[in-house]
Amino acid sequence: MMAGVRQAVGRRWGLPATRGMLELGAIFLRTETELILKSRYVVPTRLLASGFRFEFPEFRGAAGELVGRSGCR
């Protein structure tokens, strides 16, 4: 995901987020690090079955649109 955000912003690289950084961030967000560290592959089966079409089916397209709207380029 972060590679897509960096590409949208036009950055070649970013600082890696270590486990310790994420744990510290989780304290401030009052959440569990498990929610940050474990990845999930989710398919919106019900939405797609009902005919819903995403404007941006791929994350990179959505990230580019959001960055363009925010003027962060």
Please measure the distance between the N-terminal and C-terminal CA atoms of the chain and give it in whole angstroms. Answer: 18
User: For 12-46, what is each residue's pLDDT tens digit?
Assistant: 888 888 888 888 988 998 888 887 777 778 889 99
User: For 39-73, what is each residue's pLDDT tens digit?
Assistant: 778 889 999 999 999 999 888 899 989 888 887 76
Using a cut of 0.95, tell me whether the model's pTM lies above it.
no
Matching residue, tokens 């989780």: 26
Q: Which two tokens stand for residue 45?
A: 């089966």
